[in-house]
Structure 1
């Protein structure tokens, strides 16, 4: 089975948050609180809201669908939304390691701060849940359309159920700008497929979305504007997951000739880079293939044409995060060792992989290995290995790499530095092996010829 059979491409979902007041500073990522409030200048008098919670399940984790119906002063609906969401958060532990935490909506969701909006003020959809977590998205309008502007997400690491050993305590706020396609007024925006938004070690997942901002006359529109991934002509389907893709049908209508399975070709090589202050700080060129072993092996090639790169650069640590556009996320973390020595080297220390079901956003597989010592090279150079390599993530997941070249530190002029090649690419060791084998074969031939010659010489004499 190919990778396209197992997972489908996610849709893009509007990311939004109100713009700061004129002249106000932007919030710094990770601050306890943003420096400007998204609610103050947008507050409308006598605006009430109604919140309904619909219990549902999604994969491994209990998840809640949220329905928010915001009313204006006349008790007419002015903002409506129904959706599901989940968060994957990478955080630092007390032992200075990093872990992934999954945060889902709980049953105690509130809607404080949700606002209708009007021609001059943005609409705001805001929810609070769990132990001090909150999420909001704002919408602006023109004469004919509306669209989202910013998403604000605050998670509280004091929530020991989600972050049992977090090194940093307290609320952490991130802001993401991701402009959606404008939607016609009176239209409902619908997107059943999964969307993902990444920023500051947080990936936000959304699915089963229905919303309408600036509802007119209190009546939800009947015409839908669908996201790109939701084709109106296709019937809803439940795509296979890793757990069931190997299950075969037991019903046979007619004999089918047995054919060998088509081998999966090697993946295409993708080129990825990260920038810091408009300067390239990380370069990577690699073909990636996931090997999931459940019942039968499932090989998934990562398509570089749909894969985007994100991450962080630093003096002693760097992370490359790849999102292949099909609900698969791979993080490679590199560190510098011997930081105080004259000769400094870098190596691959940690790999994290998350596979999601695009239909409901549930986690199909989440695996990590933070004890690697791979891809070792001198700082300021690059590491290269053309031959296939295998990274053992855990007992059910491997990553195969092809045509690898990586430089996570000290990139100059947007080019790879001199490469240090892996032992698999070193052909010099083959020369003595080939020469030795040839000499051994020559000796064997001489011995065999000598034995045959002696036997022929004895055959000309008879015993008296």
Structure 2
């Protein structure tokens, strides 16, 4: 096995400790002392909005750990409403109704506050907008828990919500989920052998990239000057489910000639967004003031899918990465191919990577700190050279010893 192949197999295992999936939360709605709705799920959101420069931007985020049941939640004998509030004035609402011996979710509603500048930087409006979908396929018999571990995406105007690890029960007989479960279709579909479908960025083609991605040059410039520099070739790897419930892999290169860059910077946060006709890729760098270093903390993607995909859009996000750690004021450089694992379904292969957020002086990179893989590549020839030099020295010493012995002893007079 070649060293490049073994490295690609080893790195994902090494990075598993940094992978974070969307947090699963449990919520309960009571009617007096009786539980009338139980919901356990994780949720990822993709929200598009307009910035002050009249450009479109997309933010990806997950239901946070501090999400709470809102006081507007409530229920009676026929209806149950769960309102979950989080962040700076955002909420997601689940509305259930009872029909004879069954219950179903009638509506999923998302409310977003564009005035939350942490989530919607440079938003052109500061209004609260609400989107509702009535096409959520969640239903079960009374006294039965609805369960669906698979991802399910609900699309609304400028908002998409992906639910996963779902357990819900409206009007439960006790204060806990019923043991009898109604399993969603996606979970009971028989598994099939993994197949590979490789496509380029263009949705109409189905051929793999013929070479490594072209290195693109990107920057983020504000009124105070350039605050982020990046050069990199990016190859994206996405695992997804096709319409006939098979597992496939989509591999495509980011093409710099059709990709635009944007972002913003502060003293301790710097973001870079790469956008083309189909894909939005977001990088967020932060500063660790304790050790005076920066690192890549968040990576997220939103991309439209080719026709065989099940669902119109793929989203992934990880907010707890520790990649590309470098001393503040210097740049991170890696000539070797480097894998950035975002979650089990999404990773990025970066080629000829050079990046510096924070303390960019005169739009030029600071002194580069090389990645460990480049150091290893340089170390190998040094070790080989030292070994050869040692071997030559041993041979020379043996020759000199042998020659000295050949002249030892008494000489004939």
- Name the one with the larger helix percent: 2
Higher relative contact order (CA 8 A, sep 6+): 1
TM range (shorter): 0.3 to 0.5
In the superposition, the TM-score normalised over structure 1's length comes to: 0.42
In the superposition, the TM-score normalised over structure 2's length comes to: 0.46
